[in-house]
Chains A and B, each alone.
Chain A
Amino acid sequence: MSTSDVVTPPIDVMTPGRKKHRGLLEEVWHNFKKNRLSLTGGVIVMLSIVVAVFAPILAPYNPVEQFNAPPGQHNPLPPLSRSEEGTLFLLGSDKVGRDILSRAIYGCRTLLQLAASSITIAFVLGILMGGVAGYRKGSWVDETIMRVVDIMLSFPTLVLAIALVGAFGVGKTHIGPITLSNMFKIAIVIAITYSPAFARVMRGVVLQEMAEDYVDAAKMSGGSGWQILTGEIFVNTIPPLIVQGSLNMATTVLTSASLSFLGLGLQPPRPSLGIMLNEARDYMFGGAWWYALVPGVFILLIILGFNLLGDGLRDSLDPRQARRTRL
Chain B
Amino acid sequence: MRSESLGISTESSGSIVFQWEDMVEDSRLLEIRNLVTRFYTEEGVVRAVDGNSLHLDAGETLGIVGESGSGKTVTALSIMGLIENPGLIESGSILFRGDELLEKTQQEMLEIRGKEIAMVFQDPMNSLNPTLTVGDQIARVLHFHTSLSRREKKRRAIELLRQVEMPEPEKRLGNYPHQLSGGMRQRVLIAMAISCNPTVVILDEPTTALDVTIEAQIFELVDKLKAQFDMGIILITHDLAVVANSCDRVIVMYAGRIVEEAPVIDLYENPLHPYTRGLLNSIPQLDKEKQERLPSIPGEVPELITLPEGCNFSPRCKYAVEKCMHDDPPIIKIAPGRRLACWKAGEFIE
Contacts and interface: CB of A to CB of B under 8 A. Distances in A.
Contacts of A1: 321-323
Interface stretch (A3-11, A219-227, A290-298, A304-312): A3-11
A16 B312 CA distance: 12
Contact of A8 (B298, B303, B306, B323): B298
Nearest to B304: A16
Interface in B252-294: none
B315 interface: yes
Interface residues of A, number: 17
Contacts of A11: 298-300
A9 B315 contact: yes
A45 to B, nearest CB: 27
For chain B, give the interface size range: 10 to 19
Contact of B322 (A5, A10, A17): A5
Contacts, number: 43
B321 A16 contact: no
B92 interface: no
Contact of A17 (B298, B303, B323): B303
A17 B300 CA distance: 11
- The B contact surface, by secondary structure, is loop
Contacts of B315: 7, 9, 14
B24 interface: no
Contacts of B305: 17
Interface in A1-58: 1-3, 5-11, 14-20
Contacts of B320: 5-7
A11 B300 CA distance: 7
25 contacts: A1-B321, A2-B321, A3-B319, A5-B320, A5-B321, A5-B322, A6-B318, A6-B319, A6-B320, A7-B315, A7-B320, A8-B318, A9-B298, A9-B315, A11-B298, A11-B299, A11-B300, A14-B315, A15-B300, A16-B300, A16-B303, A16-B306, A17-B303, A17-B305, A20-B43
Given A7-B315, A7-B320, 10 more contacts: A3-B319, A5-B321, A7-B325, A10-B298, A11-B298, A11-B299, A14-B299, A14-B300, A14-B315, A16-B301
Interface of B: 43, 298-303, 305-306, 315-316, 318-323, 325
